[in-house]
A and B are shown apart, each in its own frame.
Chain A
């Protein structure tokens, strides 16, 4: 019975490969969990719970004095300024690199035509440059720039421009390659330049994705600028650093609430923009 059934219906030729991939994933992941000392049970150990509760109790009530709120507002504006300037510079860095690295915008790949090997080499080079830009965490760059430029937001802005430029460039190129590339290809085949093919062929399809990723990165930049504040790059992070050092849990709580509001804000902006572009 079974034999005749398999004889009639051809077997899925990819089933074995899927099963192998699953087994390999488990074999690789299990030792990694062990190395990472992942053991959720210790979270619920009575002693640990008590320690956590004591730590969190220090955070209530949030500090709401007018003087402190004034500091928070100033620091929030500074954080937003760092994140926004950083993302803008990162965008300026990312766009030409993404344009260079996107395969579906390569004229020389049609055929292949003249300049094919040069184009391939340029794409490989730019791809490597993108890896280098985003390879070091922004915190490391911030430490470097704080040494050079002194304490203040400028170091954080430069660090964001470099790391996030690399991230945006890579992801932009991947978004552009995963949308329908036939419109751009048709434009290139009728003599259009690379930039025009991007604007008329790829962006109409890819714009919501690109906007959503950029706003998400802006949200990440807000968090990152907070982290960089800990190493002296200004903004909410620096305020948070002082609060933690002085064991002012209430102040830290206020700052954390502001973080949550900022993330909500980024989410709302993203949703709004996506709706407009849909």
Chain B
């Protein structure tokens, strides 16, 4: 098992209930998209999986261990196997792109390597390779504050690609990108997950991206899972219920009219999944 949540609830310290009795499990290599309106608990769910938030109730297992029962050292090593792409990448504005990407490995590097890498970047080629996958290689030595929001998001993706985690989490990873670039970037994440056979969980605001790239769609509403289905079985009605909008348009990333995926695409997604496991 890559992870397992059993009736997990989380109440924030201010009393706001973010998740109620959520159960979700994934085998290694699964790709899951979490969709739902703003405030549904998508970020909280991902942060629980990252062992960054502790559940108020219920049981969390990541890589078959319960993170909150580990010693400090083991918890640190567990966290170094989990990578998170943030909607707003938490990168210091004055940091150079190369440093931001190399920081992905700080969890596994010995301390002296982390220190030396500040004097001279420890792995220029490795960082450049990941950045090149996102079509941004020419910005390797630029400072983060010279980049646009979408470019910064790609640096955040490159950091996690460089980290090579066994569980990749992505919280609205392409929200600042144009449709073509968003599609391309999700493709890179999916490719990484399939070639290395690691688990990918992404929360996406754009329904079309989720349905196109992920064999498993989890709908989250008011902190509860309302459906957990392959894309072919996600109906338009289910989506309208999820976003509680009978009349308004569904949130999409592309501008083309929304068409529910055909069975062929669904099987294609299934095939992609099985080919990697």
Contacts and interface: CB of A to CB of B under 8 A. Distances in A.
A186 B50 CA distance: 10
Given A107-B72, A111-B53, A205 B79 contact: no
A175 to B, nearest CB: 14
A204 B94 CA distance: 6
Interface in A208-263: none
A114 B106 contact: no
Interface in B72-97: 72, 75-84, 86, 90-95
B72 A193 contact: no
A113 interface: yes
A110 B107 contact: no
A107 B107 CA distance: 13
Nearest to A179: B92
Interface stretch (B19-27, B111-119, B257-265): B111-119
Contacts of B141: none
A188 B90 CA distance: 12
A187 interface: yes
Given A112-B54, A113-B75, A190-B79, A183 B91 contact: yes
B140 to A, nearest CB: 17
Contact of A191 (B92, B93, B108): B108
Interface residues of A, number: 32
B80 to A, nearest CB: 3
B92 A190 contact: no
A192 B91 CA distance: 15
B107 A195 contact: no
Nearest to A278: B94
Nearest to A114: B72
Given A108-B72, A183-B92, A189 B79 contact: yes
Interface in B17-69: 50-54, 68
Contacts of A112: 54
Interface residues of B, number: 39
A115 interface: yes
B76 A107 contact: yes
A115 B77 contact: no
A201 B92 CA distance: 7
A174 B41 CA distance: 32
Given A111-B54, A192-B106, A182 B90 contact: yes
Contacts of B78: 191
Most buried by A among B70, B76, B99: B76
Contact of A192 (B54, B86, B90, B107): B107
Contacts of B104: 190
Interface of A: 107-108, 110-115, 180, 182-183, 185-193, 195-197, 199-202, 204-205, 207, 277-278
19 contacts: A107-B72, A114-B72, A114-B75, A180-B92, A186-B84, A189-B84, A190-B106, A191-B76, A191-B77, A191-B81, A191-B106, A192-B80, A193-B106, A193-B111, A200-B114, A200-B118, A204-B94, A205-B92, A205-B93
Interface of B: 50-54, 68, 70-72, 75-84, 86, 90-95, 99, 103-104, 106-109, 111, 114-115, 118, 163, 165
